[in-house]
Amino acid sequence: MSAIQHHIFTSTCCDSELKSFKLQFNTPSFICDPELKSVHKIHQQPRREFPTDSSNLRHTGHEAARTHQVTNKNYIRTCFSTYGHVHACRFVYRNQGFNNCAFVTFTKAADAATAMRDGSITLHDRHLTVRPAYSWYQPDSTEQTFMYAMVGNDGDSTETGETQLSTEQYVHNDRLPNDTENVSIHMLNDHCLKHIFQFLPIVDRVRIEIVCKRWRRVVKNSWHTTKTLDLSPSTWGIAYTHTIPTVVLRKILLKCGKFLTRINLNDPNNSLSEDTLTVIGQLCPNLRNIDVTALTVSASEIRALGKRCRNITELRLGTLTSKCDSELKRLFALNENFRYLAITGNFISGKCLLFLPAQTMRTIILDRCYCLGDAHLSTALKNLENLKHLAISKCARIAEGTFQVVGQHCKTLTTLELNGNFPLAQTTDMSHLNHLVDLQVLKITHNPKVSDHFLIGLVQHCQQLTNVDITGCHYVTNVGLTALASLARLDKLVVSYTRLLTDDGLENVRGLKEFECRRCLFSDRAVTTLIRSSPELRLLDFFGCKNITDSTLEVAKDVCSGRTNNVTLNMICGGTGGILAKKKIGREKVPTLLNLYSNSLYAK
């Protein structure tokens, strides 16, 4: 009669009851069976004849072992206790419910290693085969199965019979470990299935709930690890032409909403209704990061969000149907850990900004807030002395008060972005920004109030600048460009759409990593000098510069051929005075470290 081999496996145990040991000791587990004819014979008897009650084991276990040599958990634990403390021992029921293998888990990994090295482990005068146990061979513990039953259906009762998994779901007696042709996914335990299901798109995860009761329970439990949700087709597993309506989003939020910490609904091509934010507020109380830029939000939706969500740290809002200052005021007051606020295209007056938490706020982005008052914004900024990033774009009512407060009170700013003309401000108001000595990124674009005098003062006080963007500032001349060239840490410079800059100003610029000068008057002389003097230059954008010809391309090819730092130069050269398209140059004539583009880095 063929012997029954029992394996002892060594690996980290995947059960929830041993998870702490996994982290601390890299806990190994073992599985063992005696190769006994008597045991094999006993295993053919109904399982009800085995002494399973602990009290019965004390009285009948010895007699049963003497007459039939019944293998039970106590014998296994005693056998392996000689090597160290046994944390757990349990059987895997296979072959119609009989015990033919057991998992033994030690408290310390060293004890398990000692047992592995001992090749003479015996039980009932028979040799045991000891092998390492991988997590996918191990059964789920009773505690873990019970936990799945309690939380798997969000309150729905689950019968005990559904939580007791059959042994055939894990290991089949006629399937060997190396038999790759007859492998079944049901051999995996719940822990492994749950890990696999987490990689499925939302549509597929919902569909597999109807496979069987066990999969339905595991899938429902897998939603607990879902922390982020967006509308991308890859996340949902749908075609790019399809959109997600609010009714479908609500059904998914019923499954995972209370576990979400981040939701991103900034895709403009959506079919979400106006009450979507209300649904989010009701079903997602633990959200920290909310992006609803693509939604039109009403005052009632802001109130619904404030009733349940008290842990918001980042909020991005789009169009509002009304000013909603009072609703936002209450929302800001209830969330004391606000760090990031971006408001785009609405009509807030700015009163709500007074209630932002002063100690935690780091970023404020205000874009096209046409009713934003200078008095409210300047008062709010006085309290935000830990602010790191401030961006104001096309807010026409901003005047001297805001610039003065930014210079005097926002000394910790590292990034400042000002876009558009501020008609109520004066040219001299820009000088207040020279007090931001820690400023690293400055983007003042399409602003006629930026002058050479302002740039000279800025360079004298703000020596930490690494990124300067003066796109569309038409009154900057070579004097201002020469001043910017003296910044020791300057890596990126953008001077696109400026009318008065020439080669005389650009020749002083050295050591850049990125330079953009779209539709400027620069010629080959200045651009080639920049290429030669900037060994780490990786982006050069001179789209639309009519005075640049093939000479610049030849210099770029020579410089990139001799580069030893492995830095690739990306040149955007469309619309110039003679540079050939890449398809006419030929790949063999272009160095490896040189890429040519026509309009942008994404359109060659």
Residue with tokens 């597999």: 208
Highest mean pLDDT among 107-111, 239-243, 449-453: 449-453
Model confidence at 601, pLDDT cuts 50, 70, 90, reads low
List the one residue out of 383, 420, 428 whose CA is nearest residue 398: 420
Token pair listed for 229: 């949700």
Spacing of C-alpha 413 from chain mean position = 26
Note whether 111 and 81 are within 8 A (CB): no
Token pair listed for 457: 């003062």
**CATH class of the region 377-501:** alpha beta
Token pair listed for 209: 């709930």
Mean pLDDT over 275-302 rounds to 92
**Which sequence spans correspond to the domains of the chain?**
17-28+73-138, 188-225, 377-501, 512-603
Query: What does residue 87 show for φ and ψ, rounded to 5 degrees?
Result: -75, -40
Rounded to whole angstroms, how far apart are CA atoms 493 and 455? 13
How confident is the model at residue 460, as a pLDDT?
93
Sequence-separated (6 or more) residues with CB below 8 Å from residue 80:
30, 32, 86, 89, 104, 106, 115, 121
Highest mean pLDDT among 128-132, 156-160, 372-376: 372-376
Buried b (16+ CB within 10 A) or exposed e, 392-420: bbbbebbbbbbbbbbbebbeebbbbbbbb
Note whether 456 and 487 are within 8 A (CB): no
Model confidence at 124, pLDDT cuts 50, 70, 90, reads confident
| pLDDT tens digits, 200-217 | 999 999 999 888 888 999
Buried b (16+ CB within 10 A) or exposed e, 354-367: bbbbeeebbbbbbb
**CATH class of the region 17-28+73-138:** alpha beta
Sequence-separated (6 or more) residues with CB below 8 Å from residue 319:
295, 296, 297, 344, 345, 346
How confident is the model at residue 450, as a pLDDT?
94
How confident is the model at residue 86, as a pLDDT?
87
| pLDDT tens digits, 247-260 | 899 999 999 999 99
Token pair listed for 291: 């992006």
Highest mean pLDDT among 115-119, 141-145, 162-166: 115-119
Rounded to whole angstroms, how far apart are CA atoms 65 and 71? 7
Q: What share of the chain has pLDDT > 70, as a percent? A: 76
Model confidence at 21, pLDDT cuts 50, 70, 90, reads very low
Rounded to whole angstroms, how far apart are CA atoms 185 and 174? 15
| pLDDT tens digits, 291-336 | 999 998 988 899 999 988 999 999 999 988 888 889 999 999 999 9
